[in-house]
Amino acid sequence: MAVIIDNSNLLRVAPRLLQIMRVLARHKFLGALRGKNHWPPPKEVRKTFEELGLACLKFGQVLAMRRDLLPEAYITELEQLHDQLPALGFDEVRSTVEDELGAPLAELFASFSETPIAAATIAQVHEATLRDGRHVAVKVQRPGLEEMISTDIAAMTYVVSLGETLFPRLLALDLPVIVSEFADSLNRETDFGREARSILLFRSALADIPGLWIPDVVTEYSTGNVLTMEFSNGERIDLYAEMHPENIAQSINTLVRLMLQTIFEEGLFHADPHPGNVLVMPDGRLSLLDFGMTGELDEQMRESLTLLLEAVVKGDARGAREAYLEMAPQGSEKVNNSSLLIDIKAVLHEIHNSDQSEVSIGEAFDSLLRAGSRNGVHNPPEFFLLTRAFVILEAMIRQLDPDHNYMDSFRDEIARLTEQHFSLGKIKEKTGKFARELERLVIEAPGDTRRILRRISEGDLGRLQAPTVEALGGRISRILERLTVAMAAAALVIGGSMLVLSPLGGYHHYLGEGMVSAGIIGTLVVWIGTWRRDHGRGGGRR
């Protein structure tokens, strides 16, 4: 992907661009252009991103997820990047809140702590009390972020473009794509309106999970730069585990369930589930915080991910390969399938021959990403974020209880989701959708076919007379109708076979047998109808 340089913006970003180049030179980055043997030490790389500030620091954190691009030593160092910055002065906080909410701070809040309870690169959080007595947390974005991020992204784009022009070997790293994806991610993270909507979606998706509480958004006190939420007076889960080790197993099961349920039912996931974002309330419920970094999966990717997880748990290498390739975006046509299968077999063999307490789904996904990159797969950015989320979650689980069998919790939840996936309600929903699509095809295809053939007959290629074209259109329409019925019959046979062969048993087995029978009958009807029409036409000709 080539980046087009807009020279009109060069003057605006030139000072920042020169600053970046000086920092890169000081930390031995320019030598890397001569090849891998001249890369700077991992610690110098980390210090470079920390010195360059907000956007570049965040970019370093993104690169820490790209294990398919960087050696392990660099990944380990970049994972240590901290996004702590000095707290904003209270006058700046007051000014931002008042400008955003349109009233003096004293009129909005009964109390507002001047000392933040957390401060990071994007924002800081203050404890406060509303005039109606509600205890809240107010997240205030640092001023000037939009201009700062815009300038840094433009400067990064220039650096990448210049590097690729001078050193074509950098094209293999696909850096412009990484910068573009990073820019989108950072813009989403700084949009508090989007974070508020994510909180509402998560609250709805996880409402039926016992033992979980997500603070609600106080919408009338929230904008794109200020986010006000119910206050969570819980304790960090890692500190709670030290004091109450007997209760932590249930908390871990809740974490696993909330992670998987939001992924497969809503296509959302919390991408930063570290101990600072998971609290334990005084009544034992978990409280999930900070939805600035979330991932989204469309329906097709969720379906493929379900199959991938099932294949990983079962050790099915071919199934894992096919599900993984279904997740890959366009541009992965030159995949070395045989080599990819060998690499995936090695990954699954290592998983299933390891001690269960040491198995990591996040590391398995990471190994798949590496295998895919080696064999020509263009990995989707959502998969990188999801892998990072699993790695963080699993690291936290092992910190909370090193002896906890994570895979047992994982298998139980996957089994529950699989049973739900094959429930009568889900089958009815998907069958109805499929039937509507078939109905639309049956209704629209004949007319579309006639219109296309009519246009051909009226053009330079149209040597057929109108009656001939209409007759041909009629024959094609009948063929399409038979094909549609055949497709429906095949879908019934395939779907029924899946139910019969699934481990769910019970009514699923009988429902599957019924679907297979209906599909076979439908196939026979199509075959008999076709034979009778062809036989009748043959008799007429004789």
Q: Tokens 């198995």 belong to which residue?
A: 359
Beta strands in 334-475 (DSSP E): none
Range ranked top by mean pLDDT from 96-105, 119-128, 138-147, 244-253? 96-105
Give the amino acid at 222: S
Per-residue pLDDT at 331 exceeds 80: no
Distance of alpha carbon 226 from alpha carbon 97, whole angstroms: 7
Distance of alpha carbon 386 from alpha carbon 453, whole angstroms: 48
Supply the pTM of this predicted model.
0.67
15 vs 104: which has the higher pLDDT? 104
Q: What does pLDDT average to over the chain?
A: 76
Distance of alpha carbon 68 from alpha carbon 404, whole angstroms: 29
Per-residue pLDDT band for 523 (boundaries 50, 70, 90) equals low
Q: Sign of the CA dihedral 177, 178, 183, 189?
A: positive
Per-residue pLDDT band for 465 (boundaries 50, 70, 90) equals very low
Per-residue pLDDT at 459 exceeds 60: no
What does the pLDDT read at residue 472? 46
What does the pLDDT read at residue 460? 46
What are the tens digits of pLDDT across the range 190-212? 889 999 999 998 998 888 888 89
CATH of domain 86-141+191-231: 3.30.200.20
Q: Where in the chain is the domain with CATH 3.30.200.20?
A: 86-141+191-231
What does the pLDDT read at residue 480? 54
264 vs 172: which has the higher pLDDT? 264
In the annotation, is 191 catalytic?
Answer: no
- Average pLDDT rounded to a whole number, residues 8-34: 73
Distance of alpha carbon 215 from alpha carbon 281, whole angstroms: 11
Closest CA to 351 of 307, 401, 406, 304: 406
In this structure, what token pair is assigned to residue 249?
A: 């197993």
Per-residue pLDDT at 105 exceeds 90: yes
Least confident of 18-27, 69-78, 294-303, 462-471: 462-471
In this structure, what token pair is assigned to residue 165?
A: 């022009």
- Alpha-carbon distance values, 332 to 231, 335, 347, 375, 376 (Å): 46, 6, 21, 9, 6
What does the pLDDT read at residue 114? 94
Per-residue pLDDT at 352 exceeds 60: yes
Per-residue pLDDT at 34 exceeds 50: yes
Distance of alpha carbon 144 from alpha carbon 132, whole angstroms: 32
Per-residue pLDDT at 16 exceeds 50: yes
Q: What are phi and psi of 139, to 5 degrees?
A: -100, 120
Per-residue pLDDT at 4 exceeds 50: no
- Average pLDDT rounded to a whole number, residues 289-303: 86
Per-residue pLDDT at 410 exceeds 90: no
Least confident of 113-122, 185-194, 506-515: 506-515
Active-site hit among 272, 290, 343, 366? 272
226 vs 478: which has the higher pLDDT? 226
- Alpha-carbon distance values, 519 to 275, 278, 352, 426, 443 (Å): 52, 49, 38, 19, 22
Per-residue pLDDT band for 287 (boundaries 50, 70, 90) equals very high
- Average pLDDT rounded to a whole number, residues 439-451: 55
What does the pLDDT read at residue 104? 95
What does the pLDDT read at residue 304? 86
Per-residue pLDDT band for 3 (boundaries 50, 70, 90) equals very low
What does the pLDDT read at residue 2? 37
Range ranked top by mean pLDDT from 155-164, 283-292, 305-314, 388-397? 283-292
Closest CA to 378 of 367, 369, 366: 369
Per-residue pLDDT at 475 exceeds 60: no
Structure letter (DSSP) for residue 271? S
What does the pLDDT read at residue 468? 47
